Amino acid sequence: MVDKGRRDFLKKAGIAAAAIPFANLRIPVIDVTLEEFFQKHYKEMSEEERKRVVERLERQHKEKYGVDVEIMTTPPRKGVVWGYALNIQKCIGCRRCVYACVRENNQSRANPKEPWRGEIQWIRVLEFEKFEAHPGKPSKKDFRTTFGEVIAGINLEESEHYYDPPLVPEKEKFYMPIQCQQCERPPCVKVCPTKATWKEPDGIIVVDYNWCIGCRFCIAACPYWARRFNWSDPYIRREEINPRMHYLGNRIRMRGVVEKCTFCIQRTRNGRYPACVEICPVGARKFGNLLDPESEVRRVIERKRVFRLKEELGTQPKFFYFID
Amino acid sequence: MRKFIDFVLTSVKLALTGSRKYYAWLASLLIMVLFGAFSYYYQLKYGLIITDIRDQVSWGSYIANFTFLVGVAAAAVMIVLPAYLYNYKEFKHITVFGELMAVSALVMVLTFVLVDLGRIDRVLHLMPFTGTPNWPQSMLTWDVIVLNGYLFLNILIPGYLLYKTYLREPPRKWIKIFILISIPWAISIHTVTAFLYGGLAARPFWNTAVMAPRFLASAFTAGPAFMIIILQIIRRYTCIGQPGCKLVVSDRALFTLAHIALISMLVNLFFLGSEIYTVGYAATSHIAPLKYLFFGLEHDGVVYNKLQPYMWAAITMEIIAALLLLFPRTRKNFKTLNIACIFAFVGIWIEKGMGLVIPGFIPTPIGEIWEYYPTLMEIMITLSVWALGLLVYTLLLKIAIGILAEDVVHPSAKGREMPEHH
Ligand code: SF4
Ligand code: SF4
């Protein structure tokens, strides 16, 4: 929703982007220029303003990281709602998707010199035991039998996402990657006090990194632990930067804001697959237009056994898990 | 206008003049604030990385204290309501102290929200005209509205009444409307704060209907407990109680507050018990946060239980406080009453602060157990916000007592009688 009142206010106050005096003046410590300070919400910018903002951001990337980047603002395509399907039977837990995602989306890396600087990963692969039994003793007091307590199937509380065996897949384990489920009814959007995160017409939940105030309410509200916070400035080596960026996607973030998976908005809005789909060595990941009955993802949903995570919460994920 | 400027100048003068002890107290608070400001400078410069808050436990000590203090602010209503609605005479003299407590608590509340933000430079994005408030969807937007509204009311009401007393004029009728509005408004601030948590289906520990009632009950314990202590201090160190003083803090007022604290504490324990029963008996997977809180959680042979001792201490203190308040003999003895009040205050500070915020995040929605423990810098910032609140409270109390009790009066009104007490 475009907030007209606000625009008029800004106009009257004479602080429309072009008119800011000392636009390049830097406020120390928090390290923002006046121009950044007065930047509008992405959805409220005119074409003109968007162009100027993008140019400035490209310039800033160059100054800060020394790379020439292109920041796109590709709009959503009509008649497209993106969906995802993941075959948990095939997934071998190799985490190639995790690292492909990190590279593609310019996520903060672990800094060898300052390990306290956060490493950020949007995808986490959960490892589950196929079967783990804690045999019980039959007793008069409780209802247990010698079968005891058994851990099997998808029990998130028994999952492990820091697993580190020499070789995957392990025989007695199975794997389920998790990332933003692009909820059709996203609680993260509902709770955001500033509308800094919202659902685009193609179904992707995005964040305006220049509008987010860093209150982290959305992190508390997400049932899938899909959101990450920039606890410090991100750390990326210059040669590892992916220069093809989208304003709402993989442009390099700043400290103090939230980020998350966008189904690789910079790729998918320009006719490519998400990086995780491309890299998966066993073809466990499928992606496509949910509105197109011929799309891969629709065919999976119609022909395979699918389920969604935590459906009881009413979030309506557009991320489907399936088995053959 | 002239008179109002005189009022402001007199207030500033009152706040800044005092005995040696008074200055020493102000200075020590100021030093604490500066320590925190120093730490906060680092937080601004390097980000929230200087705290121990992380993606797994994404709110910590700041939001825990915020939550608790909203309750303290709301508790002012427990004095205002009997005084204005039931015309309870004993409370008439102390309402102003309650309202000023609300102001200072709100100063802390808002500061805690601000220091918790990742991008404080963008705080105006929350506001209409300069931002895009997500109203009515986001409970945080609601909270911004009700908290600021409550702050406004609690500055306006005592401010106006002090001003009128200063001029020795009877207050106008319209202030009554604001006083009446302030009563449900107080309830609303804590309800909305509870709804921040209660509305999150992702966090079963918070997602319960008893949240708002429990918040109110615990607030109405901690607030009066705090007031009982503060009022005794005021009585001790000011002219109150001495002959010729215009203000009285009677024992009866304190005992009534103790009664309010008692009933609220019993209700609070009842709500807490109901919650523990419901989650514990059903024993679904939603039991994990509660288990973490009281017994610790085990994962791969490691037991995670950093919060456990605090929680047991809190429950013990609350029960002792309830017992001490329950029996007239201990309730009406200032020694035991004070122990009860301190225990109630600290117990609830733990239970509804860290004891509420942290387990909501443990385990994470995908089952990870990650323990949070505030860093030194974080603790310094937290303490300094408390110091700031106490500083504000001290200054405000000094002004209020000067005008209400010490006969500081506008030159034009000299010799006139004090108007009927609000
Ligand atoms: S998975 Fe989490 S971040 Fe993604 S849309 Fe749903 S609630 Fe939002
Ligand atoms: S952290 Fe940012 S995106 Fe998330 S709720 Fe707060 S303002 Fe919105």
Residue A19 pLDDT grade (very low, low, confident, very high; cuts 50, 70, 90): low
Question: How far is residue B74's CA from residue B97's CA, in Å, rounded to a whole number?
Answer: 13
> In angstroms, rounded to a whole number, what is the distance separating the alpha carbons of residues A131 and A135?
12
Residue pLDDT, tens place only, B205-263: 999 999 999 999 999 999 999 999 999 999 998 888 787 788 889 999 999 999 999 99
Other beta carbons within 10 angstroms of residue B148's beta carbon come to 14
Domains of chain A with bracketed CATH: 15-72 (no CATH), 82-123+179-323 (3.30.70.20), 127-173 (no CATH)
How high does pLDDT run on average in chain A? 92
Residue A5: predicted pLDDT: 52
Nearest listed ligand to the Cα of residue A203: 1
Q: Give the domain extent around B109.
A: 2-413
CA A212 to ligand 2 centroid distance, Å: 5
Confidence of residue A30 (pLDDT cuts 50, 70, 90): confident
The answer, yes or no, to whether residue B420 has pLDDT greater than 80, is no
Task: Say if residue B190's pLDDT is above 70.
Answer: yes
Q: Would the CA dihedral through A181, A182, A185, A191 be positive or negative?
A: positive
Please choose from A198, A212, A260, A316 the residue to mutate so as to test ligand 1's pocket, defined by most ligand atoms within 8 A of CB. A260
Confidence of residue B81 (pLDDT cuts 50, 70, 90): very high
User: Residue B86 belongs to a domain with what CATH number?
Assistant: 1.20.1630.10
Mean pLDDT of A240-268: 98
pLDDT band at A12, cuts 50/70/90?
very low
A183 in ligand 2 pocket by Cβ < 6 Å? no
- Please name the residue ranges forming H helices in A95-252: 96-104, 187-191, 217-221
Integer distance in angstroms from the first to the last C-alpha of chain A?
Answer: 42
Chain A residues lying within 8 Å of B44, measured CB to CB:
29-30
Q: Cα separation of B337 and B343, whole Å?
A: 10
Residues of chain A with pLDDT > 70, as a percent, come to 94
Ligand 1 contact, A222 CB (< 6 A): yes
In a domain, B262, yes or no: yes
Q: Which residues of A touch B378 (CB under 8 A)?
A: none
**Looking at residue A143, what DSSP letter applies?**
S
pLDDT of B299 reads 86
Residue that wins the pLDDT comparison between B246 and A190 = A190
CB atoms within 10 A of CB B326: 13
Query: Residue B228 has what pLDDT?
Result: 97
pLDDT value at position A151?
A: 87
pLDDT recorded at residue B413: 86
CA distance B156 to A300: 63
pLDDT at A8 over 70: no
Per the structure, how many domains does chain B have?
1
Return the residue whose CA atom lies nearest to atom 5 of ligand 2: A192
Tell which A residues from 185 to 204 touch B, by Cβ distance under 8 Å.
187, 190-196
Mean pLDDT computed over B68-85: 95
Is B419 domain-assigned? no
Q: Is it the case that residue A15 has pLDDT exceeding 50?
A: no
**Whether this model's pTM surpasses 0.90:** yes
* pLDDT at residue B125 greater than cutoff 70: yes
Cα separation of A217 and A211, whole Å? Answer: 14
Position in ligand 1 atom list of the atom nearest CA A315: 6
Given pLDDT bands bounded at 50, 70 and 90, which one contains residue B196?
very high
Residues of chain A in contact with residue B131, where contact means CB-CB under 8 angstroms, are 6, 194
Position B153 pLDDT exceeds 60: yes
Q: Is A207 on the interface with B (CB under 8 A)?
A: no
Q: Is the predicted pLDDT of residue B27 greater than 60, yes or no?
A: yes
Give the residue-averaged pLDDT of B74-100: 94
pLDDT value at position A1? 43
One-letter amino acid at B199 equals G
> Is it the case that residue A140 has pLDDT exceeding 90?
no
Measured between CA atoms, how close is A293 to chain B, in angstroms?
A: 32
A80-111 per-position pLDDT tens digit: 999 999 999 999 999 999 999 999 999 999 98
The residues in A 53-112 lying below 8 A from B, measured between CB atoms, are none
Q: Do B121 and A30 touch (CB under 8 A)?
A: yes
Higher pLDDT, B414 or B204: B204
Q: What is the pLDDT of residue A4?
A: 52
DSSP character at residue B367: S
- On whether residue B421 sits in a domain, the answer given is no
Residue whose C-alpha is closest to residue B229's, from B267, B258, B192, B193: B258
Task: Give the integer Cα–Cα distance in Å for B101 and B227.
Answer: 8
Most confident range, picked from A104-113, B89-98, B338-347: B338-347
